[in-house]
Chains A and B, each alone.
Chain A
Amino acid sequence: MKLTLAQKILWVAAALALVAFAALVWTGGLRTSSSEESAQQAFRPEFRLEDAAGRPVTSEDFRGRYRLVFFGFTNCPDVCPTTLSEVAQVMDGLGSQADRVQPLFLSVDPERDAGAELAEFTSAFHPSILGLAGSPEATQAAAESFKIFFAREDDATAPDGYSMAHASALYLIGPDGDWLRQYEYGMPATDILADLQNRLEGSLP
């Protein structure tokens, strides 16, 4: 069979389209399975830090409850208040079920965030938010356990000459300690609340 040039071009185009379609299905499939929380490798983030009174607090202390975790620092007047006020809205929205969720603020800047000022910071947003800080090693260990990034960045135009870059999503840990999902920075509080309510009603893990 002899093909004209136009026919060849058409065949090539069809082959390319098939490849593109297959790639789309494949990557689309990948995306679906990676966002499917159950398909993710289950892991249990852990931490060993201290509350504002200096008492040790570990992830185990909240067994049986969902944990809504945010990493931040109190010298952060822009992003951190935005997220913590969302957490406050979520906690208010949960109403009578609020005691089944423990919001936790883990400091990535323990040098400046220890003691009463940490509690003063978190309680300015919602009384239920528990602020925790620890040694640099304990902080690093907690971040690694949650698989999140943070780094101290020297900056002459920041208080004390440095600022903290940090992962700014909210992380949800289930009652048995398993990582369930993250809520991206900027996700509306109403969406986070709806997701949590689904879980509390048992229609999601």
Chain B
Amino acid sequence: MKLPVAAVLAFALSAGLVHAEPVRQGDLEIDAAWARASIGTSRPGAAYFTVRNLGDEADRLTGLSSPVSAMPMLHETTVSEGVSRMAHVEAAEIPAGGELTLESGGMHVMLMELTTPLKEGATFPLTLTFESGGEITVEVPVFGPGATGPAE
């Protein structure tokens, strides 16, 4: 019997069970990518991932692009003395042998000027540009509006 792969995949996605497979290119590996469902297109979305640097030299994440957002940017949320704010981050370093983690309440990709709502269960491509590692594109699964991590 042949499994209806598309149906299984659609179900798994809707249940939020699919983790993006790690994508390795050169010395860099992108893992645990996910995004939070957006409220329509008039409110920004947020996406997260982990970059592992398996090489001997540091690299820097310097750019982002995606067909779902006309203005994707690296942001960092900071909470100091109980007050939270977001600030733009020009570039983020991935130390040799280390990793850079984007996570809820910390560094995130702010997906502004959405061209399409980020719907739970869908996926979209996100291209990361690294100083030395070049461009790497990952497929980002969209979890619910209340999701807080890649395991949900």
Q: Is the CB of B83 within 8 A of A167?
A: yes
Min distance, Cβ A34 to any Cβ of chain B, angstroms: 15
Binding site for A on B (CB under 8 A): 36-40, 42-46, 73, 75, 77, 79, 82-88, 104-105, 108, 110-113, 145-148
Chain A contacts for B145, CB-based, 8 A: 81, 85, 124-125
How far does the Cβ of A179 sit from chain B's closest Cβ, in whole Å? 15
**Closest residue of A by beta carbon distance from B90:** A157
Quick one: which of A81, A126, A159, A163 has the most chain B CB within 10 A? Answer: A81
Residue A75, interface by CB 8 Å: yes
* Chain A residues close to B by CB (< 8 Å): 74-79, 81-82, 84-85, 88, 117, 120-121, 124-126, 149, 153, 155, 157-159, 163, 165-169, 184-186
Q: Which residues of the other chain, B, contact A159 by a CB distance below 8 angstroms?
A: 44, 112-113
Contact A121 B82 (CB under 8 A): no
Q: Say whether A82 contacts B148, CB under 8 Å.
A: yes
Chain A residues with Cβ under 8 A from B43's Cβ?
Answer: 74-75, 77, 117, 121
Question: Is the CB–CB distance between B146 and A163 below 8 Å?
Answer: no
Q: Quick check: A77 and B88 within 8 Å, CB to CB?
A: no
Q: How far is the CB of B95 from chain A (nearest CB, A)?
A: 24
Q: Is there an interface contact between A121 and B39, defined as CB atoms closer than 8 Å?
A: yes
Per the bound structure, the CA–CA distance linking A78 and B85 in Å amounts to: 10
| Interface pairs (24), CB distance under 8 Å | A74-B39, A75-B44, A76-B86, A77-B45, A79-B79, A79-B105, A82-B148, A117-B39, A117-B40, A120-B39, A120-B40, A124-B37, A124-B145, A157-B73, A157-B88, A159-B112, A165-B83, A165-B84, A168-B82, A168-B84, A169-B82, A184-B82, A185-B79, A185-B105
